Structure 1
Amino acid sequence: MLVTYLEASRDLCETDSILFGAALAVCRIIGAKVSTAGRATGQSSAIPAWRRRIEERIAKASALIGRLICFRSGNNRPRIVRTVRMAFTGTCQFVPARYNAKTKTERIDDLKQRIAAWGKRIRRYTERSTRFNQNRLFQSDQKRLYESLERPMVSGTGPAPNQADTVAFWRGLWSEPVNHSEGPWTEVVASQCAGITPMDPVIITPDDVAEAVLRAPNWKSPGLDGLHHYWLKGFMLWIFEARASNFPEAFAQFAQRSSGLVKE
């Protein structure tokens, strides 16, 4: 795969896709478990693992409550009965549909109390984490802390912006030519900068790329490409040459976009 496709790549996105495909092929060959959930969005979940576990318990308990209510009202379908058996697992009791509605009600109340306790636990942990982060921010940057406390909460319940209006607004800023009337100060700045020697162009060599990759930790959190440095170190050295050849073009495109030379 690398020999066939990598030498023909023309930009960083294509190079990263090829390297990611090669790493994925290696994992499938050796039978390693691979998760590519965060590659499409480029973002990993910010929810802590303990909170996800508690939220899963709450969701399961809520589902059991719904099935118990159906069972108590006379729904005796096999699927409902199986769920009710799960609801009474560990309680040393199972109540058929024809009698003892009090025990079913007690089990429903018990699950509701568990949900309330789990919700309080999430709120308690969240408040503790907020206090910890605020105390740490107070020690490092008090101004930033006060700004975060004074910043008004922004609600996202309003109507979404119209796509056509948004495109028209930004196209009017970036696509329409504008003739600016500059003042005399521009001539002064131009005369002062006339004697400055332009900086030599930045040339990124394969050795620069190899040195940066080899210094990085193997399993550091990857970027948008979803590729760890372990794979870049494990592949052959000529990969660095193909990767370094993409940087000048990428920097040129970035500079053009920054200066407004590239328009829609």
Structure 2
Amino acid sequence: MAEDAASQLAEKPANVDATVNIPVVVDSNDDGTVDQELKLEQMRSTLEEAIVETRSTPLKNRPRLPHVALSKRNRTVVRTLNPIQVTYLEASRDLCETSSILFGAALAVCRIIGAKFYTVERATGKSSTIPAWRIRIEKHIAKARALIGRLIWFR
């Protein structure tokens, strides 16, 4: 019986508080169950990849981050990444690098929780086609120039 109890304890994950620096990632249905898919090392590598990507991306090409809902799972992810992020922030040399680290951390949180975010072009609605209002204005300008040309010729 002792062996059965020991094997059952080994199989059950421990629900440890995030203040002990052991990640507790709550399932998406917020019922308090521990999700074993995301581990500390995976979160650390996601954070590191996001920071490296952010440092190499110009400001205007960075994706827009969505608003994240305040749920138990999202709070736990943020609380888990905060102590990891501190090591990068302590090593930063200037404000630009600090900004890149913070944006990278926010990007990592969005990736971990699975939030959808869009690039700047999609978020602002820019496209390769010329908008209809611009075409109409250019036609009015062309007609006005033609009229001015005729008036000058008659004068």
TM-score computed with the length of structure 2 as normaliser: 0.28
Q: Which has the higher contact order (CA 8 A, sep 6+)?
A: 1
Q: TM-score by structure 1 length?
A: 0.18
If you compute each CA radius of gyration, which structure gives the higher value, 1 or 2?
A: 1
